[in-house]
Structures are given as C-alpha cells and as structure tokens.
Structure 1
C-alpha cells in the first residue's frame, strides 16, 4: 500500500521515475504492471484484468475489474465516482 500512496506524492524533479512506474504495485497479493500514473490516478494491469485507483481529498478508491469487463468502462465508472466524491469534499 505504501507504494500506491507514494505514487500520489510529488517528486523532487519532473523527470524522476516513481517506484510504482518502474516496479509496479501489489493489491491483494497480486502484482500489477503500472500502465499510467499521475497526481490522482493509477492504472495497473495483470493479464486481461486490471486495477483503477483514484485519489480524492480524503479517500483512495481501489477498483478491480475482471477480464470480462472492458478497461475503459471500469475506468470511466471509477473516475466518475471519484469526481463525484471530490465534488462533495471527500
């Protein structure tokens, strides 16, 4: 979980690679390869399934999607929920 939390912290240099980008991350004992990471979102993949993590002001939304769900649909759902919660101050 520390690697995930640290991925949302700013780096000292713009060109510095974060650990999550070079090593991936674990959720539920499973390793995911980082597809994309920014200040409030983290996307990972393991085979045909994946993880979408969205940081709000007070929470981390961590959503797993199986191979039967399209990554874009999962991403849209979690990001929409994150935007909604952020709008409420969470």
Structure 2
C-alpha cells in the first residue's frame, strides 16, 4: 500500500501536518518493511522502521529496550517515556514523536518546539482510530 505516488501530499499526512499540531509525519506498514507515505523532510531508515514495528507489536524485548535506550526515528534518539499496547510516545527536549499502530499501518507524527505534545498525541491517535475504522 502506498499513498505517496498517488498524491503530492497524501490525505492522511495532510490531516496530520495540516492540523498544526504535527510538523512531520510518516505512515509505514505494520511489519515495518515499507513506507506508505512520508513528509518530504522526514526519512525513517529501514532499521528504524523495523524496530518501531517490533516495539509497537511488543515483540521480544523490543519494548523493554525502547524504555531503557530510547527509540530512533529519522536519525534522532527519543526517550520513550510511554510504551503501551498500540502507542509509543518519545521526547527529545521540547520536540517529540507520537507513534501509533493500526491494523495494517504505523503512524509516526513528529512535533517541534512550540507545539504541544498533548495536541500532537490527540491528532495522531484520532487518525489511527479513523484508519482502524476504515479497515487499515
């Protein structure tokens, strides 16, 4: 699945970035093996995608490792201060990431300094709920 080639700015990313609560975003497969859509300035490496997928799937010791050592997204390390059933929240100073798993995808939203973490969380979680209802 990929929205990237079909739209200049894929609708799910437009929802996230257009909200004003997220400045960069990506949607990857739940397996962590492909990018469905991404902001042009937000590149998640293949090994980061796989690790993110393992963390949200609670595979092996991935979640414990994220809690202890943080999670890497787009070349940056974030302290994983909350790792739950479908969500991972990470922070680096005044910036952070919100990662949420749906049935088939993982949404990664980044917020910059000056954006509120709670608003970014609500925005990413709302898109995840919508995608789950739509079968994704």
Q: What TM-score, normalized to structure 2?
A: 0.59
| Equivalent residues in 2 for 1:8-87, closer than 5 Å | 8-10=56-58, 18-87=64-133
TM-score (norm 1): 0.88
Tell me what 1:7 maps to: 55
Gaps of 5+ in 2: 1-47
| Runs of 4+ deviating beyond 3 Å | none
- Give the deviation of 1:8 after TM superposition: 2.0
Give the distance between the partners of 1:52 and 1:77, measured in 2 at CA. Answer: 9
Counterpart contact for 2:86–2:101, Cα < 8 Å:
yes
Q: Distance in 2 between matches of 1:69 and 1:56?
A: 24
1:7-47 alpha-carbon deviations (Å, 9 max, x no partner) = 123467xxxx6211111011111100001011210000001
Task: Please report the RMSD computed on the Cα atoms of aligned residues, expressed in angstroms.
Answer: 1.5
The answer to whether the 8 A contact 1:4-1:20 is kept is no
SS of the residue 2:129 aligns to: helix
Q: Aligned pairs, how many?
A: 86
Greater length-normalized contact order (CA 8 Å, ≥ 6 residues apart) = 2
Contact 2:56–2:100 under 8 Å retained in 1 = no
